């Protein structure tokens, strides 16, 4: 009898060991440590979940993470992955520590998703074996292909610093021109149509055009990085020197495109029989785009200074806002030209579609998709 009980006890212990190895063992449950930032404050921070893990505690353990669909996972300020569906995975803790080095043993996990809730994210540390704690079968993840921390933030503030220097220089050389170009009230004024001059290649205009295209190229590069635009992302995947070189080359290309656009406006004006309107048209839309670009940089500075993880979605909103406000500027230009240009309304509408809307909508479709 005693021999039978001993065999039963051994068998039961063996079964428990096998089950324990398959189901795993949780050392630390971080679920209660997860906090939600509701966002919507003055920093324009979207809703994120965050927690801090200790990678030095149980260094041979594994990290189990469950994420909802359309979530971006950051470790400190480095993006790790983006989930297109509900996902759960395990990864050795020592790989996380090696891939995301830091002075201390603590790493902050930031999960961004609009409208995220506490129950959608789960993080546990332990030895999970072949099983796991959630319904879905976890993937064995690796951080070998995680995104290396990019100097995009340093590059952005370098662009801002250079732009501020050039704007100050422009203000010193041409004291009254800058306020005339970027004054928001003048967007609703018809003062430009009373000017008889149609000169384009003036020093102040070309100087401002250089500054504008430098700022525009900066936004394009930051957007390409966070939105992962296929071709541009490969070009800007480098160190600070490479980013700076691409920025200068891109600025030159944008200046050339700006000059070609002015030629296109001049050709369109000649086709529709409108004399000396191309410069007024070009300068008015340059003012609209400049004011919008200033607003975008204010938002980007706030995001880079506070929550870099929010930029992936924020940039999408900024680009859509830019395109929408630019179209609104074209509409305002139409109503101003109705009273100042001797052309029938449908001919004027055809002119603006040919000169602005068709090329702009094609570009918007290519960028926004």
Q: What is the pLDDT of residues 351-367, one digit of tens each?
A: 888 788 777 676 666 65
Same domain, yes or no, for 130 and 39? Answer: yes
pLDDT exceeds cutoff 50 at 107: yes
Contact 311, 296 (CB under 8 A): no
Over residues 44-50, the mean pLDDT reads: 67
Closest to 165 (Cα-Cα) out of 132, 210, 224, 112: 210
Same domain, yes or no, for 185 and 43? Answer: no
**SS3 call for 267:** helix
Residue 217 binned pLDDT confidence (cut-offs 50, 70, 90): very high
Residue 103 binned pLDDT confidence (cut-offs 50, 70, 90): confident
Structure tokens at 340: 């100042």
Question: Between helices 278-306 and 152-173, what is the axis angle to 10°?
Answer: 140
Structure tokens at 231: 């071709």
pLDDT exceeds cutoff 60 at 8: no
- The pLDDT, as a whole number, for residue 39 is 53
Domain count, the chain: 2
Closest to 123 (Cα-Cα) out of 164, 80, 174, 178: 80
Q: Are strands 122-127 and 62-67 parallel, antiparallel or unpaired?
A: antiparallel
Over residues 269-290, the mean pLDDT reads: 82
d(CA 309, CA 220): 18
* Residue in the structure block whose two tokens are 């384009």: 200
Same domain, yes or no, for 173 and 123? Answer: no
Q: Per DSSP, what are the bridge partners of residue 64?
A: 90, 124
**SS3 call for 141:** coil
Same domain, yes or no, for 71 and 178? Answer: no
Same domain, yes or no, for 134 and 156? Answer: no
In a domain, 309, yes or no: yes
Same domain, yes or no, for 353 and 241? Answer: yes
- Convert 155-166 to b/e letters by CB count within 10 Å (16 or more is b): bbebbbebbeeb
pLDDT exceeds cutoff 60 at 41: no
In a domain, 133, yes or no: yes
Here the contacts of 98-103 (C-beta below 8 Å, separation 24 or greater) are: 98/143, 99/75, 99/143, 99/144, 99/146, 100/75, 100/76, 100/143, 100/146, 102/76
pLDDT exceeds cutoff 50 at 28: yes
Same domain, yes or no, for 170 and 316? Answer: yes
Question: Between helices 278-306 and 240-271, what is the axis angle to 10°?
Answer: 150
Q: Which of 107, 140, 173 is the last residue of a domain?
A: 140
Closest to 91 (Cα-Cα) out of 60, 122, 50, 51: 60
Contact 152, 225 (CB under 8 A): yes
Contact 141, 89 (CB under 8 A): yes
In a domain, 298, yes or no: yes
Query: In sequence order, which ranges of 24-103 are alpha helices (DSSP H)?
Result: 93-99
In a domain, 352, yes or no: yes
**Of 37-51, 183-197, 210-224, 321-335, which has the strongest mean pLDDT?**
210-224
Residue 22 binned pLDDT confidence (cut-offs 50, 70, 90): very low
How many alpha carbons lie under 13 Å from residue 39 in its C-beta half-sphere?
Answer: 19
The answer for residues whose C-beta is within 8 angstroms of residue 24's C-beta and 6 or more apart is 126, 127, 128, 129, 131, 132, 133
C-alpha distances (whole Å) from 334 to each of 252, 266, 320, 326 are: 30, 17, 21, 13
- The pLDDT, as a whole number, for residue 190 is 65
**SS3 call for 80:** strand
Closest to 181 (Cα-Cα) out of 167, 169, 164: 167
Rg over alpha carbons for the chain, rounded to the nearest Å, is 28
Same domain, yes or no, for 129 and 103? Answer: yes
Least confident of 156-160, 201-205, 245-249: 201-205
Structure tokens at 166: 């050039």
Residue 191 binned pLDDT confidence (cut-offs 50, 70, 90): low
In a domain, 236, yes or no: yes
Same domain, yes or no, for 189 and 162? Answer: yes
pLDDT exceeds cutoff 50 at 146: no
As to burial, measured by CB atoms within 10 angstroms (0-12 exposed, 13-18 middle, 19+ buried), residue 269 is: buried
Same domain, yes or no, for 122 and 156? Answer: no
- The pLDDT, as a whole number, for residue 58 is 86
- The pLDDT, as a whole number, for residue 367 is 55
Same domain, yes or no, for 103 and 191? Answer: no
d(CA 222, CA 314): 11
pLDDT exceeds cutoff 60 at 135: no
In a domain, 5, yes or no: no
Q: Are strands 25-29 and 122-127 parallel, antiparallel or unpaired?
A: antiparallel
Least confident of 87-96, 229-238, 290-299: 229-238
**SS3 call for 30:** coil
pLDDT exceeds cutoff 50 at 148: no
Over residues 19-34, the mean pLDDT reads: 72
Over residues 60-71, the mean pLDDT reads: 86
Residue 309 binned pLDDT confidence (cut-offs 50, 70, 90): low
Over residues 9-18, the mean pLDDT reads: 45
Residue 94 binned pLDDT confidence (cut-offs 50, 70, 90): confident
pLDDT exceeds cutoff 50 at 138: no
Q: Which of 140, 169, 188 is the last residue of a domain?
A: 140
Over residues 153-159, the mean pLDDT reads: 89
The answer for residues whose C-beta is within 8 angstroms of residue 337's C-beta and 6 or more apart is 193, 277, 343, 348, 352
- The pLDDT, as a whole number, for residue 183 is 78
In a domain, 9, yes or no: no
Same domain, yes or no, for 103 and 214? Answer: no
In a domain, 274, yes or no: yes
Domain that holds residue 164: 152-368
Give pTM, 2 decimals.
0.65
pLDDT exceeds cutoff 80 at 65: yes
Q: Are strands 71-75 and 106-112 parallel, antiparallel or unpaired?
A: antiparallel
How high is the mean pLDDT of the chain? Answer: 77
Q: Which of 140, 169, 187 is the last residue of a domain?
A: 140
């Amino acid at each position: 009898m005693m021999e039978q009980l001993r065999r039963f006890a051994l068998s039961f212990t063996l079964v428990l060991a096998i089950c324990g190895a398959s189901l795993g063992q949780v050392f630390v449950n971080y679920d209660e440590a997860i906090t939600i930032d509701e966002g919507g404050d003055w920093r324009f921070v979207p809703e994120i979940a965050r927690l801090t893990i200790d990678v030095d505690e149980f260094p041979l353990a594994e990290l189990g993470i469950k994420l909802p669909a359309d979530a971006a996972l950051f470790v400190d300020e480095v993006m790790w992955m983006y989930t297109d569906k509900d996902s759960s995975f395990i990864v050795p803790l020592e790989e996380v520590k090696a891939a995301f080095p830091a002075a201390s043993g603590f790493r902050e996990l930031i999960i961004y998703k609009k409208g995220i809730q506490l129950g959608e994210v789960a993080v546990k540390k332990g030895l999970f074996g072949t099983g796991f704690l959630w319904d879905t079968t976890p993937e064995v993840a690796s951080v070998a292909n995680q995104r290396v921390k990019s100097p995009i933030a340093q590059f952005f503030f370098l662009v801002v610093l250079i732009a501020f220097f050039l704007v100050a220089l422009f203000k010193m050389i041409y004291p009254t021109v800058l306020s005339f170009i970027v004054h928001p009230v003048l967007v609703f004024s018809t003062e430009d149509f009373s000017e008889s001059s149609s000169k384009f290649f003036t020093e102040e205009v070309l100087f401002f055009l250089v500054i504008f295209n430098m700022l525009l190229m900066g936004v394009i590069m930051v957007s390409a990085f966070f939105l992962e635009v296929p071709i541009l992302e490969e070009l800007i995947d480098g160190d600070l020197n490479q980013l700076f070189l691409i920025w200068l080359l891109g600025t030159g290309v944008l200046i050339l495109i700006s000059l070609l656009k002015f030629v296109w406006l001049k050709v369109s004006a000649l086709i529709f029989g409108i004399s000396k309107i191309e410069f007024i048209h070009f300068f008015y839309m340059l003012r609209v785009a400049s004011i919008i670009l200033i607003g975008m940089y204010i938002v980007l500075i706030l995001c880079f200074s506070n929550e870099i993880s929010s930029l992936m979605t924020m940039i999408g909103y900024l680009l859509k806002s830019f395109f929408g406000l630019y179209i609104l500027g074209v509409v305002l230009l139409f109503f101003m030209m109705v009273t100042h240009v001797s052309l029938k309304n449908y001919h004027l509408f055809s002119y603006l579609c040919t000169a602005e809307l068709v090329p702009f909508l094609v570009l918007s479709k290519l960028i926004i998709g």
